[in-house]
Amino acid sequence: MQAILLDGSPANDLMGQRVHSALTTELQAQGWQVEHVCLREKKIGNCAGDFFCWVRNPGICNVNDENRNIAKSIVQSDLMVYLTPITFGGYSSLLKKMVDHQIPNVSPFFTQIAGETHHQRRYQKYPDFLAVGWIEGHDRQTEMIFQHLAQRNAINLHAKRSAAGVVTADQTDAEIQCSVQGWLNELDRRTSGRLETNLPITEPSPRPSPIRSALLLVGSPRTRKSTSHSLGSYLFERLSAQEIETKTMHIHTSIRSPERMKILLEAVETSNLVLLAFPLYVDSLPAPTIEALERIAAQRASKMKTNSSQSHRQLFAVISNCGFPEPHHNVTALAICADFARQAGFGWAGSLALGAGEGMVHGTPLNELDGRALPLRKALDLAAEALAQGEVIPQEAQNLLAKPFIPAWMYRWMGIYGWRQQAKQYGMERSLKRRPYTIKER
C-alpha cells in the first residue's frame, strides 16, 4: 500500500513536524510505504488557468516542473494526505499550489454526482483522501470550514473514502498519535458524499459612513482578460460614477515582485473598501490569491497592535465565479474569505457567487454581453450602490445570481462540444480522455 503525504508546512513549523512524525509512524506501523513530499522544497509554478492540461496536452500540466511527477505519484498511490497549517479555514498557499495542479488528473467533461455538476474521472482508480490541519487553539468556524473544504475536495477528486482532522498546539504527542489512529480508522468507515452547504460565515459588518476609496484585487491568472476582471471592473465603474476613488491591481502580477507587492499592501491599508474577485480553483481560491491574503493578514496583525481603530473603517467583499452551473460550489471559498476578513480585522461586507461564469462572460466586458447578462449587471448595480454607502451586499443581489442563466443539463452538454473544439486546435480531440499516469501492466 502506497501513501503520499503532501506537506504544505512552512520552514520551522514545529506543529507540522509533530503531525508529520505521528502520521508517518502510524502509517508505517500499519504496513504503508510512505512518500513524503515537502512542497516548500519543490520547484512548482502556479497554475496558469489556461486549461492546456485538458486540451493541448491532456492529463499533463503545460508547465514542465515537479508538479508532473507529484501528480503522477498521486494517481499511483492508494492514499493521499494533505498536511497544512489551517489558513482562514483553508489550506496554506504552499499546499494549494499543488492542489491546483491536480486538475489534469480529472477530465474536462462533466458528470453528475448527487445532483451536482462535477468533472468526470480521468482514471479508473483514485487514492483515498485524508486532510490534516493544525491551528493554535480551537476555533469552531475555522475548523468547520476546513472539514467542509476537505469533503468537497474528496468529491471533486473522486476519493472513494475520505476523512479530515484538526490538531491544536496544546495537544501532546500521544494525543496527536491517538487522533491519527482515529482518522485512519475513519477512512475505513466513511465514504465521500455531498455535504450541506450551510457553513458558519462571519456576520456582515457595515461601515458607519460612505466609502471614499476602493481597491479591486483581481485573483485570476488571466488578469485583464479574465471573467474576474470583467465582474470587478463593472462594479468599480459604478463606484467611480459616484466619485469614489478606485484602483485595480492584479495579484498574479504583483505577488512575485517585492516592489509591486509593497504597493499592493499599501493600497490595501489606505482603501475604505477592498473587493476581491477570483475564479474558483478546486473548491477554494487560487494559490497566489491565498498567498496574498496570508501576507495582508500578517501585515495587518502587526499594525493592529498599534492602531486598532483602522480595521473598523475598512470593508472586505468578494466576487467568486466557478466553471460549474451551480453557484453553490463557491460556498466554501466564500467562507474562507469571510474567515480571512474576521481574522485580518476587516468588516465583512458580503459576497456574490456566480455559476458558469466562464461560459457566459469569458472575460468580455459586461456591457458588451447580450440580454442573458441583465441579471448579472443588475446584481452588480445593487452591490455597488450598497457598498458605496458603506453597507453590505444585499440579499437581493445574491438571489439574482443564484438563478442559473442556462439549465445545468444544457451547460454540461455544451461542455462536450466546447472542450472538443478547443482540443481540435491542437489535434488532440481524440486524446481528451488520455491517461498518461496509468501504471502499465507487465
% the chain with pLDDT above 70: 95
Per residue in 317-348, pLDDT tens? 999 999 999 999 999 999 999 999 999 999 99
Exposed (0-12), middle (13-18) or buried (19+): which is 307, by Cβ within 10 Å? exposed
Do 227 and 132 lie in one domain? The reply is: no
Do 46 and 133 lie in one domain? The reply is: yes
pLDDT at 205: 87
Amino acid at 161: R
Q: Residue 442 falls within a domain, yes or no?
A: no
Do 132 and 264 lie in one domain? The reply is: no
Per residue in 56-101, pLDDT tens? 999 999 999 999 999 999 999 999 999 999 999 999 999 999 999 9
pLDDT at 441: 42
Q: Residue 424 falls within a domain, yes or no?
A: no
pLDDT at 190: 67
pLDDT at 192: 64
Q: Residue 418 falls within a domain, yes or no?
A: no
Does the pLDDT value for residue 199 go beyond 90?
Answer: no
Closest CA to 355 of 393, 312, 387, 319: 319
Q: How far apart are CA 229 and CA 364, in angstroms?
A: 9
Return the DSSP state at 127. -
pLDDT at 308: 53
Q: Residue 437 falls within a domain, yes or no?
A: no
Does the pLDDT value for residue 180 go beyond 90?
Answer: yes
For the ranges 183-187, 189-193, 256-260, which has the lowest average pLDDT? 189-193
Do 178 and 218 lie in one domain? The reply is: no
pLDDT at 359: 82
The enclosing domain of 377 has a CATH number of: 3.40.50.360
Helix runs in 345-426, H state only: 357-360, 374-388, 395-402, 408-424
Q: Cell numbers 492542489 correspond to what residue?
A: 99
Q: Residue 245 falls within a domain, yes or no?
A: yes
Closest CA to 135 of 146, 124, 125: 146
pLDDT at 360: 85
Closest CA to 319 of 339, 334, 332: 334
Do 179 and 234 lie in one domain? The reply is: no
Per residue in 121-155, pLDDT tens? 999 999 999 999 999 999 999 999 999 999 999 99
pLDDT at 438: 92
Do 241 and 120 lie in one domain? The reply is: no
Q: How far apart are CA 211 and CA 244, in angstroms?
A: 7
Do 248 and 381 lie in one domain? The reply is: yes
Look over the chain and give the mean of its residue pLDDT values, rounded to a whole number.
94
Question: pTM of the prediction?
Answer: 0.95
Q: How far apart are CA 169 and CA 212, in angstroms?
A: 42
Q: Which residues, at least 6 apart from 407, have a Cβ–Cβ distance to it below 8 Å?
A: 325
Task: Kindly report each contact of residues 246-250 with a partner whose C-beta sits within 8 Å and lies 24 or more positions away, as own/partner.
Answer: 246/213, 246/214, 246/215, 246/216, 247/213, 247/214, 247/215, 247/216, 247/271, 248/215, 248/216, 248/218, 249/215, 249/216, 249/217, 249/218, 250/217, 250/218, 250/220, 250/223, 250/224
101 within 8 A of 72, measured Cβ to Cβ: no
Exposed (0-12), middle (13-18) or buried (19+): which is 132, by Cβ within 10 Å? buried
Task: Give the pLDDT mean for 269-296.
Answer: 98
Give the residue with greater pLDDT, 441 vs 348: 348
Q: What is the grid cell recorded at 105? A: 488528473
Q: Residue 432 falls within a domain, yes or no?
A: no
Do 152 and 239 lie in one domain? The reply is: no
Does the pLDDT value for residue 412 go beyond 90?
Answer: yes
Do 35 and 74 lie in one domain? The reply is: yes
Give the SS3 label for residue 434. Answer: coil
pLDDT at 435: 97
Do 28 and 173 lie in one domain? The reply is: yes
Do 179 and 217 lie in one domain? The reply is: no
Does the pLDDT value for residue 275 go beyond 80?
Answer: yes
20 within 8 A of 36, measured Cβ to Cβ: yes
Q: How far apart are CA 98 and CA 430, in angstroms?
A: 28
Structural domain tally of the chain? 2
Do 24 and 68 lie in one domain? The reply is: yes
Q: How far is CA 96 from CA 53, 163, 221, 427, in A?
A: 17, 18, 15, 31
Q: Residue 204 falls within a domain, yes or no?
A: no
Closest CA to 86 of 23, 11, 22, 9: 9
Task: Give the pLDDT mean for 354-379.
Answer: 91
Helix (H) or strand (E) holding 297: helix 287-304
Q: What is the grid cell recorded at 288? A: 497566489
Q: How far apart are CA 429 and CA 316, in angstroms?
A: 43
Does the pLDDT value for residue 442 go beyond 50?
Answer: no
Domain limits for position 384: 213-402
